[in-house]
Amino acid sequence: CGIFGVLGVADASNFVALGLHALQHRGQEAGGIVCHHPEHGFNSARRFGYVRDNFTSQDIMQTLPGPIAIGHVRYSTAGKKAAVIRDVQPFFGEFSMGGAAIAHNGNITNAEALRKELIERGSIFQSSSDSECIIHLMARSLQKGIADRLEDALRRVEGAFSVIAMTRSKLIGVRDPLGVRPLVLGKVADGWVLSSETCALDIIGAEFVREIQPGEMVVISDKGVESSFPFRPQPSKFCIFEHVYFSRPDSIIGGRSVYESRRQIGVELAREAPVDADLVCPVPDSGTPAAIGFSQESGIPFALGITRNQYMGRTFIEPTEQIRNMGVRLKLNVNRALIRGKRVILVDDSVVRGTTSRKIKEMILDAGAAEVHFRIASPPTAWPCFYGVDTPQREKLLAATMSEDEMRDYLQVDSLKFISLDGLYRAVGEATGRSNSCPQYCDACFSGEYPVAPSDMIEKGFQL
């Protein structure tokens, strides 16, 4: 998901709508905005679909006045049915000291246990979302201020959370102690901005100030930014997959350009798994920077062998297998004139179920390619993510049951190679690779080493 908040500008909701539009790649299912105006109080709008189709119309935007607003774009995570509008964030609650809204990116790994406990104690849940626990925990807190209640609530929560909250006069940002999901602070005119990624600061002309640190809470008001570290400090575990796929290439994360990390992955891949061929083609768009790096390092010409229809969303966000299967053809097409008779290296960011790779291989062979070699910009995805990226159950992950050679045979390609974990770490700036005693990132979907035990899933029988 993507989250964005603004304080201290006229018509903050318009800024939030633009910010959410720039974060649309983080979730395309639905979006929502909550705002506050001194006379008109709290207002909100929640809609399915793209930001640009909803939060551009005057009919909606004029119902969202005021100098403070937060917003959320969402995609639902594995196992959940298609969302209902009640599941669309931000969530709002009235407390004795006033109203508050929260927008959450990440996934709470003990949400089911918390929900059960809260329901037994009288909470009335409105949605099926794990994030709603936070509002109910805040309601039960004995603290006097809303920021203190949020802090109290988050101390009970396990897993990954970047949260943006608002009251009538304050904008609050928090990152979990591991810092799994991103969150940055920006400045626009006399106002302040919180955003999942820096690309959404650029769109409103905001200046990047700094990242919110893992375990940090910032409370922003007309007095400025107050920072605190309410949680027990832990070694940070930023999601390495944000560098590979999830974030936008024009964002800066941990002081590094995402584009540059991805290009460097391609460079590492070309060193680790060279192959003689005529063309390096990206699987657009997510494979493009890595393909550029592969081509630069290998000297094999870069070419756009596959064209992407710009009017389709990200394939993996489609909820059912059938639509996902169709999705590849609706979204991607091969440039036959270019491919015919050529030995082609295809570079993609990841193999999850293998659906995309299989279809693409068929399309490339149909177009008359002489050889097809896959090079993948992440290690085999053998484990599900429980921290807010939508991966299917373990059984559906190709790499959970097959070795690299078995996957190559299954996909019927001439060769298939994944970047090594160490190579990936080098590409994101860790010169000596992965520190196996204390990895610098979360890489659980590749290594199976979960930095937070996924307790709800273990309860349901998931085996580490």
Residues in contact with ligand SF4 by CB under 6 A are 180, 239-241, 385, 387, 389, 442-445
Q: Which stretch binds ligand 5GP (CB under 6 A): 28-36, 192-200, 344-352, 428-436?
A: 344-352
Dist CA 434 CA 450 (whole Å): 15
Q: Binding residue per annotation — 131?
A: no
List the single partner that 240 binds among ligand SF4, Mg ion, ligand 5GP, none, CB under 5 to 8 Å by kind: ligand SF4
Which residues form the catalytic set?
A: 1
State the nearest-atom distance from the C-beta of 397 to ligand 5GP, in Å: 8
Q: Answer yes or no: are the C-beta atoms of 7 and 192 closer than 8 Å.
A: yes
By CB under 6 A, tell whether 298 contacts ligand 5GP.
Answer: no
The CB-side HSE value for 14 (13 A sphere, CA atoms) comes to: 12
The closest of 298, 150, 316 to 231, measured between CA atoms, is 150
Structure tokens at 372: 């097809």
Quick check: 360 binds ligand 5GP (CB under 6 A)? Answer: no
Considering beta carbons, is residue 102 or 352 the nearer one to ligand 5GP? 352
Among 135, 355, 434, 440, binds ligand 5GP (CB under 6 A): 355
CB 106 → ligand SF4: shortest distance, Å?
9
- Is 295 annotated as belonging to a binding site? no
Kindly state whether residue 457 participates in binding ligand 5GP, applying the rule CB under 6 A: no
Q: Are 19 and 6 in contact (CB under 8 A)?
A: yes
Least distance CB 285 / ligand 5GP (angstroms)? 9
- Give yes or no for residue 348 binding ligand 5GP (CB under 6 A): yes
Quick one: 157 or 303, whose CB is closer to ligand SF4? 157
What distance in Å separates the CA atoms of residue 32 and residue 390, rounded to the nearest whole number?
A: 20
The residue written with tokens 């009017």 in the block is 311
> Could you give the CA distance from residue 174 to residue 182 in angstroms, rounded to a whole number?
10
The three-state secondary structure class of 267 is helix
Selection from ligand 5GP, ligand SF4, Mg ion, none that 355 binds (CB < 5 to 8 A by kind) is: ligand 5GP
Helices of type H across 188-251: 199-203, 240-241
Do 303 and 280 form a contact (C-beta atoms < 8 A)?
yes
**Rounded to whole angstroms, how far apart are CA atoms 84 and 99?**
23
Q: Which two tokens stand for residue 262?
A: 């991805």
Binding residues for Mg(2+): 286, 348-349
Binding residues for [4Fe-4S] cluster: 239, 385, 442, 445
* Residues of the shown chain interacting with ligand 5GP in the complex, contacts defined by CB under 6 A: 245, 283, 286, 315-316, 348-357, 389-391
